[in-house]
Each structure stands twice: as C-alpha cells, then as structure tokens.
Structure 1
Amino acid sequence: MTDPAAAGAYPQGIKLGVDVGTVRVGVAVCDRDSILATPYKTLDRNAKKNSDIRVIVNLVEELGAVQVIVGLPRTMKGEERSSAEMARDYALLLAAELAARALEVPVNLVDERLSSVTAHRNLHEAGMSSRNHRKVVDQVAAAGILQHAIDMQKARGADVGSRVTPPAPSVDLGGSGQDSSVRAATGDTARSSDNGRQQ
C-alpha cells in the first residue's frame, strides 16, 4: 500500500481530530469531503487502562475514518514541553492500537498552538458562560485542530504534520510484546502528565 505522505498526497475521507489533556480528551470529526470539522465528544483520560484510546479507535472503525490528527501543543517560540511529550505519547498509543487491530489508518501530529485559547474565545463569543466551557472546550479545540489540518492539506495539496510510527509488532501472538510497548508509552504519559496542562 502506498504511503500517502510519501506520495505527496493525503488521505481523502472522514478524519478525526484529537485534543489531548491530562484530564480530558476532545474528539472532533469532519465530513467525507473534509470541508467542515465539528466537535464530537469529550472523553475522560484514563492513563491506566487507556479506555479512551479504545473509544477513539472504535470510532475510527465505526465511521471508516481515514486519518487521525492529534494536536501537538508547542509554545509560541515553537518549543516542546511536557504537554507536547504527552501528546506524542498519546499519538503513539493510538497508532499502536490501530496497528494491533490491523487498521491502516495514519496518525499525524499537527502543531496546535493556541487551539484551547481560541476554543474558549469562540465559546465566549457564542454566548456560553465560562462555567459551561469545561464540558465542551476540549472537543471545540479538537475541531479547531482538525479544521486547521484539513485546510492546510487542501491548500498545499499534501499531507501535513508528522506521521506517527507505531512500535513494531512482537512475534508473541498473545499480545504481551504489544502490551509492553504500550505500557512503556503509558508510563511516559503518566510521568509527563504530572506537569502537563490541565484542561
């Protein structure tokens, strides 16, 4: 199968956007023509059982999504800190779970500077009280991340962000090798989340 990124093209179809936080994970989805990204749902982050990872992969299967875009929070200077490390670890977990289910769906990390700030501002302008922002701000931020990515893909005629490569599968058919890869990434996520952003 040809790698879309290597071919200079990008996947066409339904895509998911993901905004990763230490407490919550926002999910957004776009239409089959990749015109409009819309908020979908907010998940509780479960760094021990990774149940939220499985929910997202289930959604990929249900919708027939062709790509997952994960926001990579950088500082205004372009630096990466603990929250960016957390997003990278999360994207790796997603890629590993997709690979474990034999789903050839690419996971890309895309710069998401100010996505949460913009989401809060948009909700305020829409007349929603600050007290109610918490319920939906993560999925609104995810929609912003996804919209930015699909707009850039169309403008450039090429894929955007950096492709996440899942760990090589183990020969152990029982899945213990896969579990150890995911466990290592989960440990990194837990450590980085200590100082990660709260959403």
Structure 2
Amino acid sequence: MNMQPDTPGVDDPGPGRRIGIDVGTVRIGVASSDRGAVLATPVETVARVTGFKDRDGEDIERLLEIIREYEAVEVVVGLPRNLDGNGSTSVKHAKEIAFRIRRRSDVPVRMADERLTTVAATQSLRASGVTERAGRAVIDQAAAVEILQSWLDGRNNYLKEK
C-alpha cells in the first residue's frame, strides 16, 4: 500500500493555525501551531475509540472540536511509513482518521511523512528525563509536535523559495 505524503506549502491556505495529528491504535496525539505557523506545541492525547467499521466516536468528535476551537486552517496527519517508504497497517489507521475529519470538516487535511517521529519524540523525552511509563501519555503529543513542526519548517522553506 504505497501512498505518497503531501508536500508542505503546496495549495497553502495562508496564515493561521495548523493542527498536527499522530494516529495510533490506542491514542491520538494532537499538536497545534501558533497563528504565524512557525512553532508547534502539544495540545492533548485523545483516547482512540473509533474502529474501521464504527460510526464516528468520541475521538473523532474531540478532534473536530479541537480543529474548531483552534480555528485551524489546515490539519496535518502523520503518514507512518517504514524506512523503504512503503506503508504499513498504521497507514490504514492514519488514512481512516484523515478521511473521517475530511468528511466532516471544511479544513484541508494533509498527509505528512512521519518516518521516525515517534523515535525522535521518545529520544527527546528520554533526554529530558521523562520515563517510558510516564511518557506514554505525552509521547503521542510529542510525536504530533514532531510531525507538525517538520510540516511547518517544510512549508516555510517552500514559501521562501516561491
């Protein structure tokens, strides 16, 4: 299942907050940017309840609420891919959540390359002294921050070149 990620800055909606989402099978990490779309910060971890065949559950409702609350102009969902660039079963989960948000929101939803973001997030939390167990709740937020920050940096580089 090969799916190419979107390119930051292409079809850019302009200034405004972005929401970054790290989709897991148990938790969904959420991050947001400032209005200038420069810096990503953690928002919260949402418990994952909606399965593939389910109606939208509380997790989808909460994500839509966050998108509205933050007046997001763009949503960036991490597209997990292994190192050779191919998708895994996690890709299906990310695409499913992206599809459900797209279906119920007017905000553009982008898929961002998420390779190694959870690894990077885990390492930076460990370096700051957060234990693995204590870190589980924040690791998904940290991964969402990594996904979104990488997108924001790519976007700003793209816009500078144009």
Partner of 1:19: 22
Q: Residues of 2 paired with 1:50 and 1:146: CA distance?
A: 24
Partner of 2:47: 44
Q: How many residue pairs end up in the alignment?
A: 148
Structure 1's 8 and 38: CA in aligned 2 closer, same or farther, altered over 3 A? closer
Partner of 2:152: 150
Q: TM-score, normalised by structure 1?
A: 0.71
What's the CA shift string for 1:53-110, capped at 9, x where partnerless?
Answer: 1111111111211010000000000001111121111100111121xxxxx2100001
SS at match of 2:42: strand
Q: Residues of 1 paired with 2:131 and 2:82: CA distance?
A: 27
- Structure 1 residues without counterparts, runs of 5 or longer: 99-103, 159-199
Q: TM-score, normalised by structure 2?
A: 0.86
Question: In the alignment, is the contact (CA less than 8 A) between 1:116 and 1:138 conserved in 2?
Answer: yes
Q: Residues of 2 paired with 1:77 and 1:34: CA distance?
A: 30
- Structure 2 residues without counterparts, runs of 5 or longer: 1-6
The equivalences for 1:1-199 within 5 A come to 8-11=10-13, 12-47=15-50, 48=54, 49-98=56-105, 104-157=106-159
Partner of 2:4: none
What's the CA shift string for 1:168-192, capped at 9, x where partnerless?
Answer: xxxxxxxxxxxxxxxxxxxxxxxxx
Structure 1's 9 and 88: CA in aligned 2 closer, same or farther, altered over 3 A? closer
SS at match of 1:29: strand
Partner of 1:101: none
- Answer with 1 or 2: which has the greater Rg: 1
Percent of pairs identical after alignment? 39
